[in-house]
Chain A
């Protein structure tokens, strides 16, 4: 076995692209896309260069334990008993809620499930969360409460049937390239594209209409569109009457959101808003695609609700080509949520308050009933109520808001265990570092943004003594006396399926033949690509009126996002030489007019300052941002954008307002 090709699923964003890893002597030498959907032969640069990091010599190979300022290598048995004993000590002294687990959106479903089980059954706390808290928690809340399921309503391919695609708060070409491929295919087949974004992104360039609103004014804009749709008689009255509740209030209250009123708030000409509304309202099947530009706000849940109101009013749900498409940022952030790595849910969104007995019976342990903390709440009580933490494959020291506060929170813990594939800013603060197998080194399943459960397959051996995290979690469970006996990740999936109605028919054997969209309740069920064809799980879908919130009053609003060539904190992509060359350092996009008034030229070093902190970066003059708006990616430890962001939380979903921050900007040395 010298040259092999193993089909698996890409590790980066949530598109879930199938690809082949070409392997020679346990090294990945090339990557090619799968011809099956959603990739259909397409990959982004990150995907094509996926051979760049798995075999990197920086990989963590041995378990490490801190001794003073240094780390020493140790064995798995020693490190796992140490972790178990330390957690047990904290639990005895301060109670189980002094412990917390953050799982990984890069780990498989099986791994998330076992960590969830470890947290609840062994540690005895509901303090568990995952990075969804920082990306799609508002989606989970708003879509869940108004439609019944907090996830994408249609598969990506469904966009090919759309007559109109409205994209809001999503830099689709850069962040979900394969979704943009379907958008562009739809456009080539005659679909209209409306983009609403404070930045003139590539997808905005090719759109029929681009509404370049002020950052954070999405609700005013969406409400104004609904206002016009209602006034022009473009609503789907039959759909509203037979399948929804609460329209009347929305109808009355969006009346004040005239395009003219919205123009004053959003800075988008009323006429353009009117045109967009007519274009959307008159389309047969219209889709709304959104991402972090909608969710990462202190009113993220309301933002999503404004989208739901628009889709419900026009009856754009339950058919091919229609629907709501929240784009997930991680390979398995959907799965991490599905697996109950959330403080208030078990697997498949079974509420802790309702289903505790079921899981107690199955796992044969008593489970905690106390209210669990969300990610930011866990961080804010670190060092006080929270004393021990297990972080799986996350780098909160760089990815969470207000980095300096996060760092001191992590430093104040009695025990911090971090499992990862590379050393990161967070492993550097850990008491114990666990070396984990990467996506290419283990079997398991991941669930993409379109609710599609797919296999990842082992292509190469993990480096050194690194282990798949499901093995680590299973061993810890055993130390805690929870009988595990899992001999494979397929066995873990059998347990998940038995406990989770929406995953009931999913097994590794079935997935060998291709991915399945949940809900898939039985072995015979084909899966459910399109939700709500025949109705809503909660009976009738719910309108809820939402109002535009106050916007930041600073002179400059900084938008934080990603570059297409890097992923999150760069622990993988910055180790891929070509990606690192493409975007080697942080940049701040500054409108040329602002730059002129500030004495900034292309490439000038600038200082950005907010209430939380100060950083330096290099200015890039670009008219993709309007005057008063700045944009910066958060991948770079040298210019950590999240030093600037704050902990202002959305009241419903507890997502922090990562997307926009009021800042001041000045020339370095000025």
Chain B
């Protein structure tokens, strides 16, 4: 179903939804867009995509898997509660990343916490009418339009939004604010999306998945990696990265935590013997890209790069640039 929603009415729609969900939305915190619990602040939907990808709300960089308490030699365990959430402003690239993560994290045996969070979270997506300079979702086939994976989809038409429902939950949510909605159509949206797609494609007309894959082995990773400081930043902002490590903190009581990890770090690959098959940064960089462009594709049927451009925004060395594949 398609509706028009006056821009001024979006907060009211969210307020009504907040009776059922904790609302997470991008707002400006000291001038920069961040995903936070929404308390009625101005929404920063027009700002660049926040650095912390929304996928990280399902698989936080640091999370408690359970806490343990020892009493007279017996352990009791406590598992954290999962909240009902509505995430607002998820872009198509991140939406695609989420469906990729679903294929990985929910395949048997499904990851319990991820699956609980996934089930209890609703998503209001946002069509990308204002792509950033570093965006190349159109080339990766993940944007700027969202086709699935959302409960509601907003498209900024200037004065108002086009609101589309994508699931039964989305229809329920829309019904909560029925009188704010007006039957709509997507003619204007189609034009806007065409324009946005053109803009993204024309910024890098030479770029394609096939080109990236074929170029992978030609790139001189050794010289490229000379400036890589192995900070792991590219992994920590990548919406499809999902590797983690687990540690028990505290004795006799404490917690088992899961912590986002990065294959850019050398210790990630080191074996118990001390031998390291990927001791050199160029080997790790190549394997990072292989994972994104080859292995995820063959494992999950989707490339692991969704063209969000976050790795470029955090890279020390200017290495994570699509120019690499030119």
Are A and B a genuine interacting pair, yes or no?
yes
Shortest B78–chain A CB gap in Å is: 13
A: interface residue count bin: 35 or more
A-B residue pair count with CB separations less than 8 angstroms:
138
The residue from B227, B233, B257 contacting A48, defined by CB atoms under 8 A apart: B233
Q: How far is the CB of A281 from chain B (nearest CB, A)?
A: 27
Partner of A42 from the list B29, B63, B233 (CB cut-off 8 Å) is B233
Smallest beta-carbon distance B168→chain A, Å? 26
A29 adjacent to B236 (CB under 8 Å): no
CB contacts under 8 Å to B, within A15-67, are: 20, 22, 24, 27-36, 41-45, 47-49, 51-52, 55-58
> Which residues of chain B come closer than 8 Å to A670, judged between CB atoms?
none
A32 x B52 contact (CB < 8 A): yes
**B249 with A4: CB separation less than 8 A:** no
Complex alpha-carbon distance, A205 and B223, angstroms: 11
A623 to chain B, nearest CB (A): 14
Encoded as 1 (CB less than 8 Å from any A CB) or 0, chain B from 50 to 94 comes to 111000110011111000000000000000000100000000000
Please, how many angstroms separate the alpha-carbon atoms of A58 and B250 in the complex? Answer: 7
Q: What CA separation (Å) do A188 and B266 show in the bound complex?
A: 26
Partner of A5, one of B35, B63, B250, B315: B35
B residues near A6, Cβ cutoff 8 Å = 29
Selected from B61, B227, B255, B265, the residue in CB contact (under 8 A) with A30 is: B61
Residue of B22, B233, B255, B265 near A2 (CB, 8 A) is B22
Q: Please tell me which one of the listed residues A3, A22, A564 contacts residue B229 in the complex, with CB atoms under 8 A apart.
A: A564
Residues in B neighbouring A185, C-beta threshold 8 A: 318
Query: B27's closest neighbor in chain A, by CB?
Result: A5
Q: Which residue of A lies closest to B251 (CB)?
A: A57
Cα A173 to Cα B227 in complex, Å, equals 9
A7 partner residues in chain B, CB cutoff 8 A: 29-30, 32
B226 nearest CB neighbor, chain A only: A206
Q: Is the CB of A31 within 8 A of B61?
A: yes
Shortest C-beta distance, B131 to chain A (Å), equals 17
- The CA of A180 and the CA of B228, in the complex, are separated in Å by 11
Which A residues are CB-close (under 8 A) to B30? 7, 34
The secondary-structure label for the interface of chain A is mixed
| Residue contact A27 to B64, C-beta cutoff 8 Å | yes
Is there contact, CB below 8 Å, between A581 and B245? yes
Shortest A109–chain B CB gap in Å is 20
Whether, in the assembled complex, A177 has its beta carbon less than 8 Å from a beta carbon of chain B, the answer is yes
Q: Which residues of B contact A205 (CB under 8 A)?
A: 226
Report Cα–Cα, A325/B318, bound state, in Å: 24
Give bound CA distance, A174 to B230, whole Å.
10
Quick check: B237 and A32 within 8 Å, CB to CB?
yes
A184 close to B317 (CB less than 8 A): yes
Are B62 and A29 in contact (CB-based, < 8 A)?
yes
Q: Closest approach, in angstroms, between the C-beta of B24 and any C-beta of chain A?
A: 6
Q: In the complex, what distance in Å separates the CA atom of A582 from the CA atom of B233?
A: 15
A30 to chain B, nearest CB (A): 4
Q: Is the CB of B32 within 8 A of A35?
A: yes
Measured CA separation A580–B249 after assembly (Å): 13
Q: Does A577 contact B (CB under 8 A)?
A: yes
Inter-chain contact A578/B261, CB cutoff 8 Å? yes
Contact A22 B318, CB 8 Å, known A27-B62, A43-B231, A43-B233: no
Q: Does residue A554 face the partner (Cβ distance < 8 Å to B)? A: no
In the complex, the answer to whether B34 meets A20 with C-beta atoms within 8 Å is: yes
* Cβ of A470 under 8 Å from chain B: no
Given contacts A30-B60, A577-B247, A578-B259, contact A45 B230 (CB under 8 A): yes
Interface contact A33-B314, CB-CB below 8 Å: yes
Let me know if B167 is at the binding interface, CB within 8 A: no
A122-159 contacts to B, CB under 8 A, are: none
How many whole Å from B298's CB to the nearest CB in chain A? 28
Given contacts A29-B62, A577-B245, A578-B261, contact A173 B35 (CB under 8 A): no
Q: Are B313 and A41 in contact (CB under 8 A)?
A: yes
Chain B residues with Cβ under 8 A from A33's Cβ?
A: 51, 233, 314
Taking a contact as CB atoms closer than 8 A, the residue among A27, A30, A43, A52 that contacts B52 in the complex is A30
Query: B267 interface residue, CB < 8 Å from A?
Result: yes
A449–B295 alpha-carbon span in the complex (Å): 43
| CA distance in complex: A181, B63 (Å) | 30
Distance to closest chain B CB from A407 (angstroms): 26
- How far does the Cβ of B41 sit from chain A's closest Cβ, in whole Å? 12
Q: A577-B245, A581-B245 are in contact. Are A3 and B36 (CB under 8 A)?
A: yes
Q: Determine whether B253 belongs to the interface, using a CB cutoff of 8 Å to chain A.
A: yes
B220 to chain A, nearest CB (A): 14
> Which residues from chain B contact A22 at a C-beta distance below 8 Å?
34-35, 52
A202 at the interface (CB under 8 A from B): yes
What is the distance, in angstroms, from A294's C-beta to the closest C-beta of chain B? 22
Tell me the smallest distance from the CB of A441 to a CB of chain B, in Å: 16
Q: Which B residues are in CB contact (< 8 Å) with A564?
A: 229
CB-CB under 8 A from A32, the residues of chain B are 34, 50-52, 236-237
Contact between chains at B231 and A177 (CB < 8 Å): yes
With A and B bound together, what is the CA distance between A22 and B32 in angstroms? Answer: 13
19 interchain pairs, CB-CB under 8 A? A1-B39, A3-B36, A4-B36, A5-B36, A30-B56, A32-B34, A35-B313, A36-B32, A45-B232, A49-B232, A51-B62, A57-B249, A57-B250, A57-B253, A58-B250, A177-B316, A184-B227, A185-B318, A577-B245
